[in-house]
């Protein structure tokens, strides 16, 4: 009886609308004639705006059909929230259509320790934090201020629930899948869809099943599941898939361990990752003061089988991982899919000529700051301390939230860290996102760091492109700081402690959850749970500000074919960090004109091998953003040509907004990362891929590329066979035609015509 399913009192905004979802799912089942569904599909399809629009066979849905969905919730981090909210403001609504939260975490620098760093970061970013806070008050969005914690940890502790579907303006939003949610990282314009109650569109992902067997022991931890999988699948291997974990090995994992695995699923390009409901979820919900939601989820699962895969559900592909034999691995440098087993690290280091000394160790972040992670790290530190060892290199700990920090403090974990020379940083992103001030002695040359973070593109941590970040479990990072050397394998090797004695670590041990429960810590970090909108609140953005700038709508399409000039031919990897760098640029996230000065400054010019260097038609040398601005002023629309997985990495919509702002019209690549391709479409750009990859070699900067059948594609609402023909005119006058593929849906064509998705939504809300 669906009528009897009611949100527990006081938990309404945090409980998925189970009755409505079940009703939707029964319609889905009817349309599909009861074909069995995976867990991910049950959650996703139960959020369909209209289940009757679903194709009647799974084969015609997965990887084929565009779904229109109603997410339950939105979370935004401070760097991306600025642009998301600036776009939301242009829609003129009084409040958000779904519960939402803002998290101040990315703008906080890590240097000397939590208290000092937090105070100086609040002072530096005052204007932005005040803007976000006033948006929160005006529109009824929860505001988690600086120091309260990292978006994904707070979501896990407060909002994630089996069956929930949420969007987050951050690529590691899938972290919430560790607690059974379908949580998808998106750009701000997608978030605005959900915030305005506009159906959010997603091409139905295929489903990759990862079967876990056995049980981990010793040094192996959940991080090793995902570093192993990333090594196996590469950074493109999950594109277009939801990763769903199943098998008896799942039952041996903690909820936070599952979150670590889902978190770093972003590194294989997956749409998201998730686990069906487990006993560990139920326990974690109870431990995080959401016992009644856990009870309801359990009863919904027991009575309707909602929160698990159907018997006989088929995955598009299955990968099996035996947890019994899984070995810790170390992934990097510069790409998360370069995976080396710890037992092979010594030889691989030698072979690649990597530096043998490690310069720093960092643990925590949204990926690995659970109670389990921290207690295991402390168990390693205590062994070293008992043997009289001190860390040989600087060591930093980033707690994911005030709740985890306060609980660590109560249970003596912080004391152990600090007694052993660790610096405990603020509950924020800090070194994970380039906000790491290494002080006057920061290495300038090649240097190795070990982190328990999730991402390791060049310059990601300290802004130094030569810093080689190796990603691994907090256990391995903590052990490595006592040797400071790449050739140390803590599972096997000993450390000399003098007097002819040596010391060898025992495997770490930890607790999944604190036996005395979590404590909240400082109350000032907790916002009102269900804030009401206050229309009287004024949001002011000073025209003199260099941090915030109100948005001017992009111009609608003029109805003509596009004629564009190749401004840059990019060589190799081009992530969102290359397209819109973080680090010092984070401060301009709310100011489109200023942040556009970093556009593609990390990109390598295929023709010259130079970084951030392009040449005008007369041969004059420019930085990439400067030439883009010059061509914009000259009304010369441009196109960028690039290679595979362009825009891989984060959900950073600035990587799409900036090219559009600077006069770009088309990005033509060998392939795109999913979020970035969508972001480009949302900003009114045309993302295309080569039908024949070899055509990449035929193009040069200065070539003029003109579409031949864009109007036809638009008239047919994207349904023109998926090809845009482009005439190429070389500088010597030679011409030829190439075929390019597009994936524009009906809605995306509407965005293109309107100039952007926001223009389109704004019009429809009037």
Residues lying near ligand SF4 in the complex (CB under 6 A): 105-106, 150-152, 170, 172, 365-366, 429, 432-433, 453-455
CA dist 188 and 478 (Å) reads: 36
* Residue closer to ligand SF4, measured from CB, 151 or 242: 151
* Residue closer to ligand SF4, measured from CB, 46 or 452: 452
Residues contacting residue 631 through CB under 8 Å, at least 6 positions apart? 565, 567, 637, 638, 663
CB distance 206 to 63 below 8 Å: yes
Q: Is 56 a catalytic residue?
A: no
DSSP letter string over 496-520?
EEETTEEE-PPPP---SS-TT----
Catalytic residue among 134, 370, 452, 650: 650
Cβ 332 to ligand SF4 shortest distance, Å: 15
* Residue closer to ligand SF4, measured from CB, 172 or 660: 172
Q: Say how many C-beta atoms besides its own lie within 10 A of residue 412's C-beta.
A: 11
* Residue closer to ligand SF4, measured from CB, 150 or 641: 150
Residues contacting residue 535 through CB under 8 Å, at least 6 positions apart? 94, 138
Closest CA to 471 of 482, 460, 463: 460
Catalytic residue among 72, 78, 105, 193: 105
- Upper half-sphere CA count for residue 537 (Cβ side, 13 Å): 18
* Residue closer to ligand SF4, measured from CB, 429 or 749: 429
CA dist 751 and 571 (Å) reads: 29
CB distance 330 to 258 below 8 Å: no
Cβ 433 to ligand SF4 shortest distance, Å: 4
Place of tokens 């024949």: 692
* Residue closer to ligand SF4, measured from CB, 430 or 625: 430
* Residue closer to ligand SF4, measured from CB, 106 or 203: 106
CA dist 716 and 109 (Å) reads: 49
Q: Is 106 a catalytic residue?
A: yes
Catalytic residue among 405, 636, 652, 654: 652
Cβ 526 to ligand SF4 shortest distance, Å: 20
Q: Is 105 a catalytic residue?
A: yes
CB distance 643 to 604 below 8 Å: no
Cβ 272 to ligand SF4 shortest distance, Å: 15
Pairing of strands 686-690, 723-729: unpaired
CA dist 651 and 272 (Å) reads: 12
Q: Is 652 a catalytic residue?
A: yes
Q: Say how many C-beta atoms besides its own lie within 10 A of residue 158's C-beta.
A: 21
Catalytic residue among 14, 152, 281, 455: 455
DSSP letter string over 703-721?
-EEEESSHHHHHHTTT-S-
CB distance 764 to 198 below 8 Å: yes
3-state secondary structure of 174: helix
Q: Is 14 a catalytic residue?
A: no
Direct distance between the N- and C-terminal alpha carbons of the chain, in angstroms, rounded to an integer: 39
Catalytic residue among 78, 117, 170, 577: 170
Cβ 497 to ligand SF4 shortest distance, Å: 35
Alpha helices in 599-696 (DSSP H): 624-633, 654-661, 674-682
Cβ 554 to ligand SF4 shortest distance, Å: 28
CB distance 583 to 564 below 8 Å: no
Cβ 480 to ligand SF4 shortest distance, Å: 20
Show which residues are catalytic. 105-106, 170, 455, 650, 652
């Amino acid at each position: 009886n669906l009528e009897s399913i009611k949100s527990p009192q006081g938990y309404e905004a945090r409980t998925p609308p189970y009755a409505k979802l079940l009703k939707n799912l029964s319609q889905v089942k009817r349309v599909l004639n009861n074909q069995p569904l995976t867990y991910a599909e049950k959650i996703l399809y139960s959020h369909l705006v209209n289940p009757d629009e679903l194709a009647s066979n799974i084969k015609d849905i997965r990887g084929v059909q565009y779904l229109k969905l109603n997410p339950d919730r939105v979370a935004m981090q401070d760097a991306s929230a600025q642009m998301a909210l600036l776009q939301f403001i242009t829609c003129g609504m009084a409040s958000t259509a779904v519960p939402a939260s803002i998290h101040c975490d990315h703008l906080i620098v890590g240097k000397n320790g939590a208290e000092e760093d937090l105070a100086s970061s609040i002072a530096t970013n005052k204007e932005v934090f005040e803007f976000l806070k006033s948006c929160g008050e005006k529109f009824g969005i929860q505001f988690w201020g600086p120091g309260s914690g990292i978006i994904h940890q707070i979501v896990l502790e407060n909002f994630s629930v089996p069956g929930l579907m949420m969007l987050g303006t951050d690529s590691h939003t899938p972290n919430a899948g560790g607690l059974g949610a379908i949580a998808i990282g998106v750009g701000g314009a997608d978030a605005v869809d959900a915030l305005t109650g506009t159906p959010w569109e997603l091409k139905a992902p295929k489903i990759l099943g990862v079967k876990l067997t056995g049980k981990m022991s010793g040094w192996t931890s959940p991080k090793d599941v995902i570093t192993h999988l990333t090594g196996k699948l590469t950074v493109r291997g999950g594109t277009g898939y939801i990763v769903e974990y199943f098998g008896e090995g799942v039952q041996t994992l903690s909820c936070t361990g599952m979150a670590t695995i889902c978190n770093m699923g972003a590194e294989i390009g997956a749409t998201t990752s998730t686990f069906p409901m487990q006993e560990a979820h139920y326990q974690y919900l109870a431990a995080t003061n959401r016992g009644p939601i856990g009870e309801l989820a359990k009863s919904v699962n027991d009575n309707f089988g909602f929160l698990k895969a159907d018997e006989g559900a088929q995955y598009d592909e299955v990968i099996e991982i035996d947890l019994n034999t899984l070995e810790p691995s170390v992934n990097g440098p510069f790409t998360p899919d370069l995976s080396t087993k710890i037992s092979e690290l010594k030889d691989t280091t030698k072979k690649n000529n990597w530096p043998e000394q490690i310069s720093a160790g960092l643990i925590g972040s949204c990926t690995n700051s659970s109670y389990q992670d921290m207690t295991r790290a402390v168990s390693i530190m205590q062994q070293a301390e008992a043997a009289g060892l001190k860390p040989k290199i600087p060591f930093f700990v980033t707690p994911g939230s005030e709740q985890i920090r306060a609980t660590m403090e109560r249970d003596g974990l912080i004391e152990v860290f600090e007694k052993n020379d660790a610096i405990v940083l603020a509950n924020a992103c800090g070194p994970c996102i380039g906000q790491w001030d290494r002080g006057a002695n920061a290495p300038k040359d090649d240097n190795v760091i070990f982190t328990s973070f999730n991402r390791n593109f060049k310059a990601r941590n300290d802004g130094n492109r030569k810093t080689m970040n190796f990603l691994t479990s907090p256990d391995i990072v903590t052990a490595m700081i006592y040797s400071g050397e790449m050739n140390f394998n803590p599972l096997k090797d000993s450390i000399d402690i003098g007097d002819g004695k040596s010391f060898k670590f025992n495997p770490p041990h930890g607790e999944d959850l604190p036996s005395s429960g979590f404590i909240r810590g400082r109350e000032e970090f907790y916002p009102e749970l269900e804030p009401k909108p206050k229309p009287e609140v004024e949001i002011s953005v000073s025209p003199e500000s260099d941090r915030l700038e109100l948005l001017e709508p992009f111009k609608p399409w003029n109805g003509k074919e596009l004629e564009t000039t190749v401004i840059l031919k990019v060589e190799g990897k081009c992530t969102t960090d290359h397209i819109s760098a973080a680090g010092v640029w984070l401060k301009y996230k709310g100011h489109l004109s200023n942040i556009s000065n970093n556009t593609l400054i990390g990109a390598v010019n295929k023709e010259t091998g130079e970084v951030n260097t392009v040449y005008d038609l007369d041969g004059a040398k420019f930085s990439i953003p400067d030439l883009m601005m010059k061509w914009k002023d000259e009304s010369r629309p441009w196109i960028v040509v690039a290679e595979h997985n362009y825009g891989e990495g984060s959900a950073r919509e600035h990587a799409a907004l900036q090219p559009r702002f600077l006069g770009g019209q088309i990005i033509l690549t060998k392939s795109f990362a999913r979020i970035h391709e969508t972001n480009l479409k949302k900003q009114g750009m045309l993302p295309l891929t080569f039908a024949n990859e070899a055509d990449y070699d035929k193009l040069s900067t200065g070539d003029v590329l003109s579409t031949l059948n864009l109007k036809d594609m638009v008239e047919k609402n994207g349904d023109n066979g998926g090809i845009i023909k482009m005439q190429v005119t070389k500088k010597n006058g030679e011409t030829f035609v190439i075929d390019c593929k597009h994936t524009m849906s009906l809605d995306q064509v509407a965005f293109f015509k309107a100039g952007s998705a926001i223009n389109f939504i704004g019009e429809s809300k009037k």
